Structure formats: C-alpha cells, structure tokens
Chains A and B, each alone.
Chain A
Amino acid sequence: MYSFEYKKVSSLEEAQQAFAASDDGSYLAGGMTLIPTLKQRLASPSDLIDLGGISDLSGINLKEGIVSIGATTCHADVAASPDVRKAIPALANLAAQIGDPQVRNRGTIGGSIANNDPAADYPAAIVGLDATVHTSKRSIAAAEFFSGLFETALEEGEIVTKVGFPIPEKAVYKKFPNPASRYAIVGVLVAKTVDGVRVAVTGAGPCVFRELAMEEALSSSLAVDAIKDVEVSNNGLNGDIHASPEYRAHLVEVMTRRAVDEIS
C-alpha cells in the first residue's frame, strides 16, 4: 500500500472540506473494496477521509412507506433489521447474501453503490425497487444513478447520505453467486410495485440494467408461464473465466423464473 494521509471526520461538512483541501482524496466507508484495492496498489489517493465517524449517516428507519437506510449502515444491520425484514424482506435477503459475515459487518450500502461494481448486489435493489439515492447535494433517482462500469452520477466530492426504498407490493431477489467470491455472477430482483413489474439484473452486464422484455411479459401476468418464451440477448453481457455472455444470458432467464415463481 502506498502512503496516504488519514483523516477521520465527524460531519458531512468536515468531510467535504477535507476532500476539497486534498490533492487526490478518496472517501473511506467500510473499506471492503477500497482497502484491498489500496493493498494491490491499484489506487493511490493522497488522502483517505474516513466517513465512519459521522454518526447520522448510519441507521435505518421506516416512515410513510419508505425504508431509509443511512449510507454507512453495514450489510449485517440491513439483513437483521426487523423493519427491513418486515417491509421489504427481499432487501434483507439480498444484504444477507453479500460476501461473508465478516464483510457484512464492515461493508456499507453507500460504499457499495458509490463503487458500482458490476457484480455487486445492491444495485439490483436500487434499480428494481426504484429507490432514491440521497447525497450531500441532491436526490438522485435510481434510473439516473448508475451510469456504467464502476461509474455513477456522483460528482467529485459528493457523498451518498442515505437510500430511500419505496415499499413494493412484493419483491424477490435471486442470486447465482460465484462460489469463491460470493459476488453475483447473475442476480435478478423482481418487484411488483404500484407502477408495475420491474426486473433488475446485476452481475450480467457492465452495469445493472432493467430487462424490459421480461417486465413487459410479466405486466399482464406475474407468472412463470408469461416469460417462458422470453429470450434474453447476450449482446453486451460480461464474459470471463467464470461465465460466458451466453451463460449469463441463460442465467438471467433462470434467475428471473425462480424469482417470479417465488413471488407468484
């Protein structure tokens, strides 16, 4: 790891000031991606600004049909939260499948979505449940937030503060994990909301996306039969030693069917 200046801050203002004053600063939340990245010398920020001491960035509350999760809330807390388990069990299940128990005790929702790893789980929930990402500057709709491979709408120095999930009528997340890393080779979240059925796919492409043909087929009937003839194109999907684009396309179909089977 290259050397850096470490700053622990206790407010958003202090964090943004420290960022602005740094040459090439980086925010640190749970560090479950950032610290391994630093160890491999794939990044060398001048300053690491630790958001872990900002107490009001952490916590979960349920109000007026929205489950709000503070940016530095760890995955284990989301998985165990009685509010989340009751209002959106699919979200608690998703959080319970990230990494391993030790990682879930450190990794945070804000860190996960700001990093936007193509195989991360949370993006499927943000897009599938049409959540709103709140930041130090503004509120960003799910459709606008994830913009590409490890890219988001976040501007330089902007900090995710919380994510608001509207409660769906029903939702299920189905994941085909890489057995070694637990990252999603393919993860599909199917949700029935007041505005219709949403199918969000992570792991398969460079960035989370909605499978519109599936959504259309499911909008008339939320049943496995409705999608049995829907084919998912492998065009633009990821291919690596773990799975080819063709295999990932097939997994999207299978995971969607499993999710729909459980939901209906």
Chain B
Amino acid sequence: MRKITVKINGEDLSGEVESRTLLVEFLRYTLGLTGTHVGCDTSQCGACTIHLNGAPIKSCTLLAVQADGQDVTTIEGVADGDTLHPMQEAFRDNHGLQCGFCTPGMVMTALGIVESHKGDALSEQTIRKELEGNLCRCTGYQGIVKAIAAGAKAMQGGV
C-alpha cells in the first residue's frame, strides 16, 4: 500500500492504495465520490470520464498512483453548491438523460468538448464525433447532443 494525495475538485485528498488500484476505484471506494460511474470497465463506455489536469480521460484506465500529485475534477466538482452548472442545467432542460447512468461521463466529456473548441461554434456533427468515447445504453443521443449544444451556448454567455 502507498499513500497518494490527489487534488480533487480543488481539495487535496489522500488515501492508501495498492499499485493496481484504479483511479475510479480510489474515487468511489476510498473517497466515496460515487458520482463517477463504472459502466463497462474496459475503457469503451466513458461513464467513468473525469478531467485529469483539465483533459477528459477514462478513470477506469488509469492507476490511482498515476494521479498522485495531479489535479482531478469529477462530476461532484462541476456544480456551484446547489446551483447546477449551465451544462448540467442544459441536460435537464433538453431531456439529455433517461436512466442517467451515463450522464456524469457525458457531462464531463461535454465540458471537454466546449474547452477544446473554445471560440468555435459547435456543430451537431462535431458534437456527435466528439462523443465517440461515450455510450448511452438508453440510446438517448438526440437529447444529449441537443443538451451539449445548448450547454455550450449557455457557457459562452448566450442562451
């Protein structure tokens, strides 16, 4: 076992992990941050997407020890207290979720899409392409794509 400290949602959090502990296991089972989901556990579905140093990655395919000393944002760090982030609000407004299991990963990926296309208008085609790494087993993609377009717009200041 070794002690690691990861800056999670702005706060330095520590815990004891084995070398083989995955980051998502550390988040969920050591820290109790269960907003990050495990869907496939084979780096395909994207339900476990978090931001590592600002970039969306799949936390089921990163060792917790690799995140030692790094900066992580999870879905729990997105809202401002009880006020939803504009992207989360957009998911609610546009029926961007059905069962909701994939939603944390979808929102984290959506924030990554907005960040990596800063200043560009987001086309529906771009959003669909950038969602390659996230699966929704309810197949609710129409609402998700609409939500991301609306969320991106809201984040850029226009509603």
Q: Give the interface of A toward B (CB within 8 A).
A: 1-6, 8, 28, 31-32, 35-36, 38-39, 48, 50, 52, 76, 80, 99-103, 105-106, 180-182
Contact = CB atoms under 8 A, between A and B. Distances in A.
Contacts, number: 75
A31 B58 contact: no
Given A36-B43, A39-B41, A31 B20 contact: no
B51 to A, nearest CB: 9
B61 A100 contact: no
A106 B57 CA distance: 7
Given A6-B63, A106-B57, A101 B19 contact: no
Contacts of A6: 2, 19, 63, 65
A100 B46 contact: yes
B133 A99 contact: yes
B132 A52 contact: no
Q: Is the interface of B mostly helix, strand, loop or mixed?
A: mixed
Given A36-B42, A101-B132, A102-B46, A31 B18 contact: no
Nearest to A1: B20
Nearest to B64: A6
B78 interface: no
B143 interface: no
A80 B56 CA distance: 15
A237 B113 CA distance: 38
Contacts of A80: 116
Contact of A52 (B19, B20, B66, B113): B66
Given A36-B42, A36-B43, A3 B61 contact: no
